[in-house]
Amino acid sequence: MRLGIPGALQYYYHFPAYESYLKSKGFDLILSPKTTKEIREKGLKLAPPEICLPVKVYIGHCAELIGKVDALFVPRIIKRLINGRPYYGCPKALGLPDLIRALFPKVKVWELEIDEEKRREDQFLGEVKIPDFSPPPSQRNHRVMLIGHPYLIFDSGLNFAIIKKIEKKGVSVLTPFSSDVENLPLEPISDIAWFYEQHLLRAARVAKTLGGSGIILFYSFGCGTAAVTNEIIIRKIARAADIPVLNLMVDEHTQETGIETRIESFLEIITKRHRR
C-alpha cells in the first residue's frame, strides 16, 4: 500500500520513528514535497478559518498527496511520557484524523493512535531527536535563541527565512533543537501539560547560559499552547534572567518586510544593551 505522509506538523518531530515503524509494516511511503506557495494556498482554501497556519499548511500537504497514494497517514498523538509522567500533544493535532476525514471524505485515512500512558510497545516514538537545521556556532558578536516549533522555524514555506535574516545582521542563532540544547536533560515545568512545549521551555531556560543575548518567540496566530507557554517564558524565565524577548506572531497575512523590520529593531536593542 502506498501511504502518504504529509511533510508538516509532527513530521518534523517524529518522521524517523514513523518511517521505521511504517516500513516494518510493509508500507511504501510517499512524502509530500516541501511547502510551496501552491501547497499553502490549497490549505488556506480548504481549512476552517479559525485554525492555525501550520494546520492549514498540513491540510495543503494532504491535498497535494491525494491521487498519488492509497491512504494518508495521520497520527493522533494523545500523550507522551517524560520521566514517567504523561504530557499531552497539541490540542488541535489531537483531532487531525477527524478533520482530515471531514475535509476529504473519499480519502482513506490510516490513523495511528499514540498514547504512551497505555504502554503499548508499538506506540513508543523514542526521544525527540530533530535533525539540527540550525546554523553551526560562529564567533559573532551576539547570539539569540529562536524559540518555535520545528514545523515553523525549519519549514521554508512558513519561516520567512528568519534564520537567514538574523544571520545577515551578524548574529548567530540557537534553537530548541540545536545540539547545545538537545543534549541537556529535559526537566519539565509542571505548570505545562503539553509535551512539545517542554522542549521550548528548556531552550528559554538555558538561553542566557548558552550566551544568548535575547529570545525571539516565533509562533502562529491561533496557537492555544503558545498563549500560555510564551507568557511563562516572558514573565518568569526571561524576566528572571534579565534577557529581552521579541514576540513574532505570524499568520497567512504576515508580510516579510514586517518581520525584517521587527528583527532589525530587536537586534538594535540587544546591541545597545551590550554597550552600557
Q: How far from 167 is each of 192, 197, 209, 221, CA to CA, in Å?
A: 32, 25, 20, 25
Q: Where in the chain is the domain with CATH 3.40.50.11900?
A: 142-275
What integer pLDDT is reported at residue 216 of this predicted model?
Answer: 97
Q: Is the pLDDT of residue 122 over 60?
A: no
Characterise 119 by phi-psi region: left (phi > 0), alpha (psi -120 to 50), beta (else).
left
Going along the chain, which residue ranges are E strands? Answer: 2-5, 28-31, 71-73, 76-82, 85-88, 109-110, 113-115, 142-147, 171-174, 212-220, 245-250
What integer pLDDT is reported at residue 132 of this predicted model?
Answer: 57
Considering the entire predicted model, what is its pTM?
Answer: 0.90
Binned at pLDDT 50, 70 and 90, residue 273 comes out as confident
Average model confidence (pLDDT) across the chain: 89
Task: Render pLDDT for 206-259 as a digit per residue (tens, 0 to 9).
Answer: 999 999 999 999 999 989 899 999 999 999 999 999 999 999 999 999 998 999
Q: How far from 125 is each of 80, 87, 179, 194, 223, CA to CA, in Å?
A: 9, 14, 20, 16, 24
The set of cell numbers assigned to 186 is 529535559
Write b or e for each residue in 151-186: b if 16 or more Cβ atoms lie within 10 A of its Cβ, otherwise e.
bbbbbebbbbebbebbeebebbbbbbbbebbbeeee
CA distance 197 to 224: 11
Please state, for a pLDDT cut of 90, what percent of the chain lies above it: 67
Q: Is 67 helix (H, G, I), strand (E, B) or coil?
A: coil
Q: For 2-123, CATH number?
A: 3.40.50
Q: Is the pLDDT of residue 135 over 80?
A: no
What integer pLDDT is reported at residue 137 of this predicted model?
Answer: 55
Task: Render pLDDT for 169-213 as a digit per residue (tens, 0 to 9).
Answer: 889 999 999 989 988 988 988 889 999 999 999 999 999 999 999
Decide which of 1.10.10.10, 3.40.50.11900, 3.40.50.300, 3.40.190.10 is the CATH code for 142-275.
Answer: 3.40.50.11900
The residues, ordered by sequence, that sit 6+ positions from 165 with a Cβ below 8 Å of its Cβ are: 259, 260, 263
